[in-house]
């Protein structure tokens, strides 16, 4: 009976450890579903068009333009950016397009995989590009260029184009999403603030409402807010490991207890 009670208590502890992770994985209504994606692109980092992950931003532009968008990415996610360029029918030669992604410090981030640069022939009607970044970390050393939580910028342009095709109209679709990597990418630390341009101005507005006329360069954040950096599902696996170790110890004790005791005590004088 005592072993049964111990096993019941251990299973109850395991259920309590797993329940927060289950609650976090439950889908919830996203405010971004009610907002419209931008239909224009910016021409610089400061004028980048903001859009939420999971939405598709569109723009009409001309060949040779530099097009900018921005989106928020939080710790523990692996962002992937995709772009589709609808090429003009009047193009007379091939063109090469490139998709670049920058973090909140405007550091160009390397693509883990994906076709970041592609060349389209004169007969092509569209070209597709993609870039999957490394997993966003909650914290890293100052000398490192690891992706950190905050605003990410997308820049799309053509890097090789015939002069005769310069200025022709093109249509662009851009989207971004993230894969949740989980506790395997967790680190023991977090940034004081995400790398969001204008966040210092936002903090000042919170303290002084009279400064509401100041510009805020970025206003988007993840649906459930920026991660605090201390919780991840690795705590669940740590709890599971501790429970399994306790069960193994209890089971080993129950199997080996009394093995060293004599089964029968000989009578005196035997």
Residue 183 lies in a domain: yes
pLDDT at 242: 82
Residue 33 lies in a domain: no
Q: Which residues of the chain have pLDDT under 70?
A: 1-35, 183-189, 198-219, 224, 227-237, 258-270
For the entire predicted model, the pTM comes to 0.70
pLDDT at 60: 95
* Cβ contacts of 206 within 8 Å, gap of 6 or more: none
Residue 53 lies in a domain: yes
Where b means 16+ CB within 10 Å and e means fewer, 188-223 reads eebbeebbbbbbeeeeebeeeeeeeeeeebbebbbb
pLDDT at 174: 97
Whether 32 contacts 54, CB under 8 Å: yes
> Which residue, chain included where needed, has tokens 């939580």?
149
When divided into structural domains, the chain yields a total of 1
CATH number at 105 reads: 2.60.120.380
Residue 269 lies in a domain: no
pLDDT at 210: 45
pLDDT at 41: 96
Residue 167 lies in a domain: yes
pLDDT at 253: 78
pLDDT at 22: 36
Whether 32 contacts 12, CB under 8 Å: no
Domain hosting 200: range is: 38-232
Residue 9 lies in a domain: no
pLDDT at 1: 44
């Amino acid at each position: 009976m005592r072993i049964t009670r111990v096993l019941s208590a251990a299973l109850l502890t395991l259920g309590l450890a797993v329940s927060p992770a289950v609650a976090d994985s439950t889908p919830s209504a996203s405010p971004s579903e009610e907002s419209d994606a931008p239909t224009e692109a910016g021409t610089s980092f400061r004028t980048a068009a903001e859009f939420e992950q999971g939405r598709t931003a569109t723009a009409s532009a001309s060949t040779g333009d530099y097009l900018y968008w921005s989106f928020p990415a939080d710790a523990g996610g692996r962002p992937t950016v995709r772009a589709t360029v609808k090429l003009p029918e009047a193009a007379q030669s091939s063109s090469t397009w490139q998709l670049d992604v920058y973090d909140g410090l405007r550091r160009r981030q390397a693509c883990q995989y994906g076709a970041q640069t592609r060349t389209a022939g004169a007969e092509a009607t569209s070209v597709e590009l993609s870039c999957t970044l490394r997993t966003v970390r909650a914290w890293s050393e100052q000398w490192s260029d690891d992706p950190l939580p905050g605003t990410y910028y997308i820049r799309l342009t053509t890097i090789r184009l015939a002069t005769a095709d310069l200025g022709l109209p093109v249509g662009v679709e851009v989207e971004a999403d993230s894969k949740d990597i989980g506790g395997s990418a967790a680190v023991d630390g977090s940034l004081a603030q995400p790398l969001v341009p204008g966040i210092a101005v936002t903090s000042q507005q919170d303290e002084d409402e009279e400064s509401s006329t100041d510009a805020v360069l970025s206003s988007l954040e993840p649906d459930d807010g920026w991660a605090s950096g201390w919780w991840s599902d690795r705590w669940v696996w740590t709890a599971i490991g501790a429970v399994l170790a306790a069960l193994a110890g209890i089971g080993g004790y129950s199997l080996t207890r009394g093995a060293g005791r004599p089964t029968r005590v000989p009578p005196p004088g035997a």
